[in-house]
Every structure is written in structure tokens, then in C-alpha cells.
Chain A
Amino acid sequence: MADQETIQQVEELKKYKYGFETEIETEKAPKGLNEDIIRFISARKNEPEWMLEWRLEAYRLWKQMEEPHHWANVEYEPIDYQDLYYYAAPKQQKKPKSLDEIDPRILETYEKLGIPLKEQMVLAGVEGAPKVAVDAVFDSVSVATTFREELEKAGVIFCPISEAIQKYPDLVRKYLGSVVPQGDNFFAALNSAVFTDGSFVYVPKGVRCPMELSTYFRINEKKTGQFERTLIIVDEGGYVSYLEGCTAPMRDEHQLHAAVVELIAEKDAEIKYSTVQNWYPGDEEGRGGVYNFVTKRADCRGDNSKVSWTQVETGSAITWKYPSCLLRGDNSVGEFYSIAISNNAQQVDSGTKMVHLGRNTKSRIISKGISAGKSQNTYRGLVSVHRKAHGARNFTQCDSLLIGEKCGAHTVPYIQAKTPHAKVEHEATTSKIAEDQLFYLRARGIPEEEAVALIVNGFVREVIQKLPMEFMAETQKLIGISLEGSVG
């Protein structure tokens, strides 16, 4: 009896720690995708005519496109796009004025997700709490935005993109799709047609955003595709650091997550974009996990601008993601720091594209891939130096760590240099956790799984240190959790 209980408890532990769902009545559009559904979404959100037209144009482009699964190192059953819901919103009479008015079950959900204590203090309005603004996306509609006033004082706009479409149509029309056009790729086109919400940030000239901006995305409705759209614009000399973290509840069916993130850095502007991605990875066979097909791209439009992507990818059944930088301004800088962990049957095909267009542009890529179980982990990266990009420099370092015998690590670098006045460096290593490393730690009293977590955290240390402080400890824990069951 007691044994049975123990076995059960162990089994429970093996399950995804965030596998729960909240029951909140939702309002759904019917299943499937056609122009009427897009009109429905657009009408629900009271969008202006130009926005609807923009969506319809994307939809028409999408219909002519083919799903791109031939080149990425991932395998999955074809998705039936007519069998998905494209709109679900928590039922609400009117917008809440404060967090007290938020459904306590939603707040409880964030509690379970382990939103850092500091941010909970912020949410609770504790005196002296660090300044982290949380724009919480619950399913597809933003339900809570804090610190709006303080941001407004600084002149920073941080709001749901649906609101920005109403309030700041000129900014949205100018920038939306200017980095990732509607027809850029299959999933970006789909997103452009049906996105329901996401975040919008505008930092005006010469303003350093006074706080870290943080958003938590979550999928919470059966068979609901999640199509966020994020648009961040930093005007001349401005600075913003944006954090995005997500985890999703347990599911039987595959869930499609096709977000688009566009960043625009004008002259002398700097954007730091950090992601901790912890979507449900599926069971040990990969059943039920999230498909994370994301297009993230930054346009370093102005001279001396800088964009830094930092990502920690631990979740999803399949990840297909290449946060990129178009280095158009002279002396502009693009950085990509990545930790991608795959366990069990997870498949990761991720990397970056650094496109050097301006003179003396610099890019730096540090990628740390960890594969365990029978997962496949691919780094795919493009460094492209165009004809006029005199003095361009790139440094790429790809390190892979293998745990066990059945997983795979792959590195696929594409390097194109069209000027002789450029310097491109690529370094790659592949290693395994050695038995004697594990034994050394265990002989000092550290249990096997913690020993693996310690070794892996050492391996990714360089990238962890690029994360904002409040994410570091949490991320180190997350790395341990994602590798549970990978040894022994």
C-alpha cells in the first residue's frame, strides 16, 4: 500500500510540473479558418478597417503558401488548420481597473506558474517592490497591465497591441509588418491574419525605460492556437529591456503557437529582449506538446543601434525559432545568446540570422544546446555579410552537450560573405557529461539529478549571466527541472 503510494507520487513528479488548467468561461469563435473568422476576430476587437484589410491580405498570402517542414530538422504530423479555434477570450463585462478585479483563479494560475516573488510583490502593490511591469496575457486577451501610469510619465507606451491599434494607429501602421512582412513565411502569414493580442511598446527619443518590461504568455483553452503579436519600437537614443516568459498547461492534443515579434531600434537605440520558454513539451513520447513556430526579428535600423536576444528554450514538443537581426545602420550590433534544452522526444531547430548590411556592423552568437533522452537539437544559423558591409565582424560559438546515448546534436551554420572586408568566425564543440564528472559530484554528496543540473548550469553559465538578475535563479532551477529523468 505504502509502496503503491510512493510509486504514484514518483509518477506524479515525473509529469510536467505546470500541467494544470484553470476553468474560466471563454468565448470562442467557431473552429476553422476563413475570411469570415478573420472578420469576426477583427470585429470583436473593434478594429479599424485598415487593420482588417491588413489581416485579409495576410490570409490571402497564407492560402498560397506551403507549410515549411522540408528544411528544418523536425518531424510532425501535418496540422489541420481547419480543426483549430482562432479566437477565445475570457468573458468580461468591462476592463478591470485594478488587480483586485482580476479573477482570483487567474492570479492563482500565475502563483502556480511560479511567477517570481518579486513580481508577485509588484502585483500585490508591496511598498518598495522592484519595478517590473507585468502585462499578463491570459489566453488571447490582456487582462492586467500594471505600472501604466509610471511608464506614461516617462513617455513609454506599454499596452496590449489591440489597444495600440485603437489608440496609436499611426505608430502601429508605420511599424507593423515593417520587419516581418505579412508574407514573410507560412507561420508569420498565419499570425498576421489571426493574431488576437500581444504587447506593444514604444520608447520615445532619448528615453531609458525606467523598468524591466515583462510579459507572461500562456495557452489556456483547448484547441486554441495562440498567435501573439509583439511590436517593440525604440526611438533614437532610447533603451528598453523586455522579458518574456511562458509555460503552458498539460494537453492531449498538439497546440500550435505561432507568434511574431518585431523589434525596431532607431539610431543609437538599444533593445534587450529575453525569453524563458517553458511550454508543455509533451509526454515522454512527445504526445500533446506545444508546437512553437515563432518568427522573431529585429531591425537595427539606425546607426549605432543594438539589439540583444537572450533565450532559454526548455519547453515545447517542437521549437522552430530564429530570433534575427537586420543590421542596417552603420556600427549597429546584434547579439544572440541561447540556451536550448531538449529532453525525451523534444525537437529543437533554433538559431539566428545575422544580416550585415551596414558598415562596421558587429554580431555575436553564443549558442548552448543540451540534448537528453532521445531528443534532437539543431543549431541553425545564418551569418550574411552584404556587399556594402565593409568592416563587418561576426563571432559565433556553438557548444553542444549530450546526455545519454540516444539524443542528437546538430550544428548547421550558413555563412555568406559578399565583401572581402569582413571577418566571420565560427567555433563549435560537442561534449558529453562524463561518467567521472557525475561520480565526482555524487561522491561529494550531490544526488545524480542535481549533479546533472549543476554540470549543465556550468555549461550554460555564460548565457545565464546575460539574463536579467531576477530571471537567473529561476532559470537555473528550470534547467534542473527540464532535465529530470534524463539520467539513470
Chain B
Amino acid sequence: MLLEVKDLRAVVRPEEDEGEAKEIIKGLSLSLDRGEVHAIMGPNGSGKSTLSHVLAGKPGYEVTSGEALFDGEDLLGLEPEERAAKGLFLAMQYPVEIPGVPYMQFLKVALNSQRKLRGEDELSTPDFMRLVREKAQALGISMDMLKRPVNVGFSGGEKKRMEVLQMAVLEPKLCVLDEIDSGLDIDALKVVADGVNALRGPERGFLVITHYQRLLNYIEPDHVHIMANGRIIRSGGPELAHELEREGYAAFVEDAA
């Protein structure tokens, strides 16, 4: 199993002097294997983005019980960079700007840091350039784009397309896509979805987190989970997304309550 989450509970760690920790993930279990695409759908505040943050190791959360195994290894004890090096990639809902750092440099530092953490040799500059050129071309990204500082002044669509480029270059085992459709018009959405689909393969898993069924028309999942109030309340095949689209979240959430 590529990812196995068992009865996970997590809280948001409160700021100093700010009351109690608030539980967001309330006993969530999920199994995802290589080659599979799982979608997690849920209303706002259901905890689906938090799940992606906890998996990637974002500071500010605390796992109070349960476990998450990645490729059979404990994931939760690792630093975010170690998780990345082991092959976990979180495509962010809001990719962050890093002024003054050219995208190319960022990609190179990221790739070589991961290789170093895995005990592999760093990639030489010419080899790296060749790799990036090839991947960028496939996604229709110009080399000029890669000379610009990371995400500074990029449109929403450009940011997301660059997240897909990162995936193509870093070649993770599991891609967690956190609302990759947010802020995209239909054309940009198609481009991003095509990029993701091109990365699908028997060795790679995807966890697609989304609010809307629309994305799943383009990235077709094998399994759909509905999340509410910190846990998965129903799982099924692709047809579940359509059912949800017809009936709305309310029906499901009430059923579960």
C-alpha cells in the first residue's frame, strides 16, 4: 500500500495564550495504492485541506492519535523535506511567492536537496537543464517563465501549471492535489488536468482534493470519498461524485449525522 491512514486525529495547535486546540481531523482512515487516483470531496470546513497539510507535515498541527504509513513507513515522524524526499508531493492551493529566486534555481535546489536526502548524487547543471527543458516543453511552459522569480506576478493558471511542472521534474510517488482547480477558468483547468493525467502511471498514486465535481470530469478518479466534519463519511466509485453533484453535500452530511 502506498498510503495508509489509520484512525487519524489531528488538532490545530493554538497560538500562545489562545485557548484550546481545535480538533479538525476526527478519526480518518484511508488506503491508497500505486496506480490509483482517489478523490476527496467535501464541503468547506470539512477538514480536507487540513488532511493534506498534516500529510505533508505543515507546522501548526498536532496529530493526537492514529497513524499514517507511506510505503509502509511511518510518515508522521518525518520533517516536511524528508517526506518530500521519500516521494510525497503536495500541490498547493495557494503556491507561495519567493521574490528574487528564479524558478529554475528553486527547481534545481529542490531536486538536488531531495536527491541528497535520498543519498543520491546531485544532478549536474547540464543534465538538469535538459530535464527541465523537456518537461517544460511537454507542458507548454516557456523557458522565459523559468527565469522569473518563483510565482511572483504569475496568474492563477500559471501558478498551478508550474506546480504540475514541479511534479514532472521531482517525480513523486504520491501527489496530493489540494484544490488544484481553485481560481482556474475552464481552459486553465484543462491544461492542468492534462498535465496531471500525463503523470498518471502504475507506480504513482494521486489524492485529489476538491470542492467541485467539475475537476473530476478531467481527472477521473478510481475512488471517491466524501469527507465531512473531520472524517470520511462515504466511499465509492466515480459515480459517487455525480450523485453528490445532484444531491448536494447536505444530504450526505445529514445521513452521516
Contacts and interface: CB of A to CB of B under 8 A. Distances in A.
Interface string B41-63: 00000000000000011111000
Interface string A428-440: 0000001111011
Interface in B56-100: 56-60, 79-81, 83-85, 89-90, 92, 94-100
B102 to A, nearest CB: 9
A279 to B, nearest CB: 26
Interface stretch (A219-227, A256-264, A378-386, A457-465): A457-465
A441 B166 contact: no
Contacts, number: 83
Contact of B92 (A434, A440, A450, A460): A440
B109 A440 contact: no
Given A436-B96, A440-B98, A458-B149, A445 B59 contact: no
A443 interface: yes
A447 interface: yes
B117 to A, nearest CB: 6
Interface of A: 434-437, 439-448, 450, 454-455, 457-462
Contacts of A439: 58-59, 80
Given A445-B110, A445-B170, A457 B101 contact: yes
Interface string B96-126: 1111110001100111011001000000000
26 contacts: A434-B96, A437-B97, A440-B92, A441-B106, A441-B110, A443-B80, A443-B89, A443-B92, A444-B81, A444-B106, A444-B166, A445-B81, A445-B85, A445-B113, A445-B114, A446-B109, A446-B110, A446-B113, A447-B81, A448-B79, A450-B109, A454-B101, A455-B101, A458-B100, A458-B150, A460-B100
A437 B80 contact: no
Contacts of B92: 440, 443
A450 B56 contact: no
B117 A440 contact: no
A223 to B, nearest CB: 42
Given A442-B79, A444-B170, A447-B81, A461 B100 contact: yes
Given A435-B60, A440-B98, A445-B111, 6 more contacts: A443-B56, A443-B84, A444-B84, A444-B106, A445-B117, A454-B106
B59 A450 contact: no
A458 B109 CA distance: 13
A440 B95 contact: yes
Nearest to B94: A436
A463 to B, nearest CB: 10
A12 to B, nearest CB: 21
A447 B79 contact: yes
B99 A450 contact: no
Nearest to B115: A445
B100 A462 contact: yes
Contacts of A460: 100
A435 B61 CA distance: 13
B100 A450 contact: no
A61 to B, nearest CB: 45
Nearest to B166: A444
A452 to B, nearest CB: 11
B109 A454 contact: yes
A436 B53 CA distance: 11
B9 to A, nearest CB: 22
A407 B251 CA distance: 53
Contacts of A455: 98, 101
